[in-house]
Structure 1
């Protein structure tokens, strides 16, 4: 945690006229649990003090994880403050340490604003909304929260008369997306600026620096990864942000910590079960909510937050009865139940698809008189990786030696450690039951399906070994049957 600097009297930032103080020209400090005292100037505070930005107070950073981990109660608001602070700090550091880059004060300001506003477009329960709710309502839709962020940023600037030139607005929107998109943008040849907030090149950016540290802190997940060292040990070489060669293992540790958060926290079995219930509840309520209309209208989207659950519960609309029932089940901990899981190595995940393992296929293998229907079963495909699909993200990162800090180079994995993984992705196929009384029968049906699939002559050579730790009562009729099940 950064040590707090001296508190600065606002009067020292005021001009002679009181109106400038009232207009928000005073630098403001926030005491952040991750970064210590962080500050923003008047222009950034003009962004923060708007309804569009304050909306982030009502969006949980970790979505449904808060229902499982009580400490995961932080919101997108403080995360965006942290990313804005880190974005401005890193850009200012490049400006001071490498004057040859000719970074202007306006560029520092714009990169900071991009960090502040990069998550303006998140919907209720964050990634659940654009990764599950919207695709369920409209399978053809390509809408993502990044598009929502651009829409809400435009709305923020126009609705609050924020004094930013149109060219700078377009530049900030490009920074949020992580790539120059607008023809004629004067910043097209300064690619390193676009890697600070949303690095499309290798995934090392201040967004990760903040959320990995913040999420680990709030759920008490221990990690030796240190983002502050990466901030200090970075410089721009050949229009790319590079890192001191001594930080290569720290970067591997960052990607492993990210994977660990996904494996242990974000895709926790119970958290995913609650996500599935939230998706069902929100989708069933769409006839009253009109979500597809709201994601295109910033004035309506402004009020679409995690409070959607209470909106449903408060409503007297009879069409919301089923959604209310699901939300009350969540409140009373009557959750969908985890049934089983099959983890597929990254180099084999393309050999399986949803035409082979799905609810209908599982139900087709149900025991006699089980009375299962496809609606009883949910199959979730959860891809996990180091952030660059099957690839090693560190292969896309350049390093430098302090004795020659104008030349960059790649560091092969074998030069770092023999214990670094050789596979960087996997696919977890999870099965859930909507009815707790049918968990055993669904598990038996799923394992029958997997065993039959494995015995087929044209099936890929993937060993399916049932996890004994997942076995539940009712999956087998008797101890003898239990021993013979996989000999059928």
Structure 2
């Protein structure tokens, strides 16, 4: 509205940007970023990204649905806008030489200010009840195109700072919440366990195969005996599917399952009978048990900046344990490093933003240092290190927490705790009350629950 017709925006431009906005996340795998940043990363697959797959999926949809109403040049422009944040690479993507500013609307690789961020921050904060302080309407209202890039009025620099600060808040309070990450870890474990049989990591290269995978993939694992005829599975992979079934049942109900002997998956070569898994499932289901968060510590920024930071392995944590009576195994511990930043690692994205002084300005400029509020922190990324216990036995959780605390003291000379550590669960009331003190109706319910016929 500021520049009107001088931008020469055509109906075709609007259609291309709308298509890019609608299609930019077509390439997300099951459970969104959990699939690529968790599952595929654990598989060692680093040359796949969902933006490129979004472009490939768009081609696949056009070909299979015979959508010949979209010109090939427009399709390439849409793909370029989708992959713009990654340098415009992708499925035949090649940006149009004119109106390059259009490629900064959906996915902005220059400074990460784009409508994708406006959308998910507004939606997620609303449904999660998190109050954010930035105003994306003002960001759009006080923007204009200068020298073929989107620039912003200087007075909005604090609003833009709050945009990135709000992103960090959402990551800290929602996206990396300790319970949410515990469930994500369980999903990843379930996918890893079933990959040998279902070949999930092999399906990411073919859009037709990839399109068959969505969040219902856990149903494949849970009901493998029903869907098993759809796959060719070798006998040695059946046990892996059965172990993944236990994990998936826990994910769906918000619980994790531990082998009755105390380990998560038991001995892969000799899994317990299915009825034992079922008993463990019912028991854990009633207690709503997740992977147990033990503790989190803030990693000193100077260690990261100097390249002196190397995260510990699970074995390092186990070896730091000085207690006795609890047997810990590295495979029962998850060491997870979280990075929360302003979208550009440890860089300030506002350094890549150009501003103008007034709506009539035709010149752009960078933000001057002496014009930045001293209240704006000069650090744009923080690293934290978490430890989870897959074994939810209270004594094991406490032992893992003690081991992690000991490692922190050895590495940093003290603990730098950022979250409340895991607390021992309260004992169940019915377990502490003698049977003779219970109401007769409660006694009958307890007898029914403990009956082996259930």
TM-score (normalizing by structure 1): 0.71
Q: Secondary structure at the match of 2:362?
A: strand
1:343 matched to 2:301? The reply is no
Q: Paired residue for 2:138, among 229, 248, 260?
A: 229
Paired residues for 1:381-400 under 5 Å: 381-400=337-356
Aligned length, in residue pairs: 371
Give the drift of 1:427.
0.6
1:326 matched to 2:281? The reply is no
Which stretch of structure 1 is more off in the superposition, 240-249 or 174-183? 174-183
Alignment partners' CA distance in 2, 1:467 and 1:151: 42
Q: Closer, same or farther in 2 for the Cα pair 1:387/1:466, shift >3 Å?
A: closer
5+ residue gaps, structure 1, are 1-92, 456-462, 475-488
Paired residues for 1:97-246 under 5 Å: 97-137=3-43, 139-162=44-67, 163-178=69-84, 179-181=87-89, 185=94, 187-246=96-155
Partner of residue 415, structure 1: 371
Q: Paired residue for 1:427, among 383, 399, 402?
A: 383
Alignment check: 8 A CA contact 1:413 1:420 kept = no
1:288 matched to 2:197? The reply is yes
Q: Paired residue for 2:319, among 326, 343, 364?
A: 364
Q: Secondary structure at the match of 1:407?
A: coil
Render the CA deviation track for 1:366-422: whole Å, top value 9, x for unaligned: 223421111011011111101111111112111112254211122236524221111
Q: Closer, same or farther in 2 for the Cα pair 1:454/1:181, shift >3 Å?
A: closer
Which stretch of structure 1 is more off in the superposition, 415-424 or 265-274? 415-424
Q: Secondary structure at the match of 1:236?
A: strand
Q: Closer, same or farther in 2 for the Cα pair 1:466/1:425, shift >3 Å?
A: closer
Give the drift of 1:364.
1.1
Alignment check: 8 A CA contact 1:118 1:149 kept = yes
Give the drift of 1:321.
1.1
Give the drift of 1:468.
8.6
Partner of residue 332, structure 2: 376
Give the drift of 1:443.
1.1
Partner of residue 36, structure 1: none
Partner of residue 10, structure 1: none
Alignment check: 8 A CA contact 2:297 2:415 kept = yes
Alignment check: 8 A CA contact 1:346 1:390 kept = no
Alignment partners' CA distance in 1, 2:137 and 2:417: 43
Root-mean-square deviation (Å): 2.3
Q: Closer, same or farther in 2 for the Cα pair 1:401/1:132, shift >3 Å?
A: same
5+ residue gaps, structure 2, are 229-237, 254-284, 426-454
Give the drift of 1:180.
4.2
Q: Closer, same or farther in 2 for the Cα pair 1:260/1:361, shift >3 Å?
A: same
Give the drift of 1:352.
4.8
Moved over 6 A (4+): none
Q: Secondary structure at the match of 2:76?
A: helix
Alignment check: 8 A CA contact 2:296 2:387 kept = yes
Partner of residue 449, structure 1: 407
Alignment check: 8 A CA contact 2:355 2:365 kept = yes
Alignment check: 8 A CA contact 2:30 2:213 kept = yes
Partner of residue 253, structure 1: 162
Give the drift of 1:346.
3.7
Alignment partners' CA distance in 1, 2:367 and 2:179: 39
Q: Secondary structure at the match of 1:408?
A: coil
Q: Closer, same or farther in 2 for the Cα pair 1:454/1:385, shift >3 Å?
A: same
Give the drift of 1:213.
0.7
Q: Closer, same or farther in 2 for the Cα pair 1:113/1:339, shift >3 Å?
A: same
Alignment partners' CA distance in 1, 2:53 and 2:133: 34
Give the drift of 1:328.
2.2
Alignment check: 8 A CA contact 1:180 1:188 kept = no
Greater Cα radius of gyration, structure 1 or 2: 2
Give the drift of 1:159.
1.3
Alignment partners' CA distance in 2, 1:247 and 1:136: 41
Partner of residue 465, structure 1: 416
Q: Paired residue for 1:405, among 353, 356, 361?
A: 361
Alignment partners' CA distance in 2, 1:257 and 1:390: 16
Alignment check: 8 A CA contact 2:165 2:342 kept = yes
Alignment partners' CA distance in 2, 1:390 and 1:104: 38
Alignment partners' CA distance in 2, 1:253 and 1:126: 25
Partner of residue 76, structure 1: none
Alignment check: 8 A CA contact 1:378 1:432 kept = yes
